[in-house]
Amino acid sequence: MVLKVTKILAFQTLSGIYSAREFVWWYNGHPDYSSLKPDLKSSDTAVILGQGNVALDVARILLRPTTELASTDIARHALSALEESSIRKVFLVGRRGPVQAALTAKELREVLGIKNMHIRIKETDLSVTPADEVEMKNSRIRKRIYELLSKAAAAAGTSESDPDQRELHFVFFRQPDRFLESNERKGHVSGVNLEKTILESAGSGKQLAVGTGEFEDLNCSLVLKAIGYKSVPINGLPFDHKKGVVPNVRGRVVSQTLESLSQTEPGLYVCGWLKRGPVGIIATNLYCAEETVGSISEDIEEGVFKSSKEGSKGLMQLLEKREVKKVDYSGWEKIDAKEKQMGTERNKPREKLVTWEDLLAAAAAN
Ligand code: NAP
């Protein structure tokens, strides 16, 4: 086991391997990643590890016609690179089966609807076990996803093949073992070694992937890792390492006192993935934030804050003292207006500003 981990880590530095987060930040114009330059031209194949909605997001960017992407708010540098991309086949690799794919129906339908794209799913991967049936009976989402994938696989089997079309392969029951290095291009990835898996019951209706010891290679020149997220602890704050969250009650941070776990820290709140773990769509975050804001409002009304904290004035003073460059709401509005105006000129909802200098300059403009 120690050997295996060492082997994987040793190849982490191969070029052509990116986390989905880096790739998403690149095409969305995040200033820290706008110069990423992912390798889109070395072959026609990309592998995405993981079968969640982030994996689907990046597959969609790689496969959707650039004529359609041009009218979205994608960053200009990403659109130019994608216009020259040679990627035509994308493999979405999941360690479990189609019943367990961590997708939601709306997002899957969007990807399945990409023009001129062929879906490939092995028929044998679509056969379900009694345990799968139970999972589908207990979850409408799981059943819907399975039905959508089965329908897409059946439709693909009967469509005409077109040499220019793109392919999206759903690869089930495979877990990554190690990355392969190219013989021709030293230091560059040439594929992923995958271990076949089977599902074993983990109790309460859950099935987990277990390696079978059988391996196979999947060749590619681009790998995107989309296997989820985990929050990191913040100095001085309690942290549940297993769940990757700051323990809280409706957003109120639970104090470190072990004897009374439900005792909360007055004036300290958390929301988002740090509060509930790395799951959920945008609407989930809205409800999550509303709950935390509700707790803050209740505490203000009930006079919970005993200490005389300075509030936003104190925060501004601290930021000044630490020489942190900050953008206030009116600065954000100026950035928003500038991006929208630049977008209008190019027939897009917005053209993103992709450097810190440009963002700060727009925020400071009169
Ligand atoms: P996710 O939903 O947790 O999916 C992670 C995927 O990676 C799963 O297929 C998981 O398989 C796999 N995985 C995890 N660890 C692995 C390992 N060690 N080896 C192999 N595979 C592994 O994560 P995500 O896609 O990053 O999404 C995070 C959250 O954001 C989700 O709730 C998602 O729905 C949400 N999101 C929403 C939208 C949207 O609303 N449009 C867009 C993007 C993201 P297992 O299931 O076997 O663990």
Is 162's pLDDT higher than 80? no
Question: How confident is the model at residue 282, as a pLDDT?
Answer: 87
Place of tokens 């969305």: 28
pLDDT tens for residues 233-245? 988 888 999 999 9
Q: Which residues contact 271 (CB under 8 A, 6 or more apart)?
A: 251, 285, 288, 289, 291, 292
Question: How confident is the model at residue 354, as a pLDDT?
Answer: 97
Place of tokens 């309690």: 238
Is 164's pLDDT higher than 80? no
CA 273 / ligand 1 centre spacing (Å):
13
**103/52 Cα distance (integer angstroms):** 5
Is 161's pLDDT higher than 70? no
Protein residue with its CA nearest to atom 13 in ligand 1: 227
Is 6's pLDDT higher than 50? no
The percent of residues in the chain predicted with pLDDT above 90, rounded, is 81
pLDDT band at residue 307, thresholds of 50, 70 and 90? low
Is 315's pLDDT higher than 80? yes
**164/65 Cα distance (integer angstroms):** 11
Is 57's pLDDT higher than 80? yes
CA 280 / ligand 1 centre spacing (Å):
10
CB of 226 shorter than 6 A to ligand 1: yes
Question: What is the mean predicted confidence (pLDDT) over 215-239?
Answer: 94
- Give the 3-state secondary structure of residue 12: coil
Q: How far is CA 45 from CA 42, 91, 165, in A?
A: 9, 8, 13
Greatest mean pLDDT range, 229-238, 264-273, 279-288, 352-361: 352-361
- What are the DSSP E strand ranges found in the chain? 17-19, 45-49, 89-93, 117-121, 166-171, 174-181, 189-201, 207-219, 222-225, 248-249, 252-254, 264-269
Question: How confident is the model at residue 267, as a pLDDT?
Answer: 86
pLDDT tens for residues 75-104? 999 999 999 999 999 999 999 999 999 999
CA 278 / ligand 1 centre spacing (Å):
9
* Mean of all residue pLDDT scores within the chain: 91
pLDDT band at residue 272, thresholds of 50, 70 and 90? very high
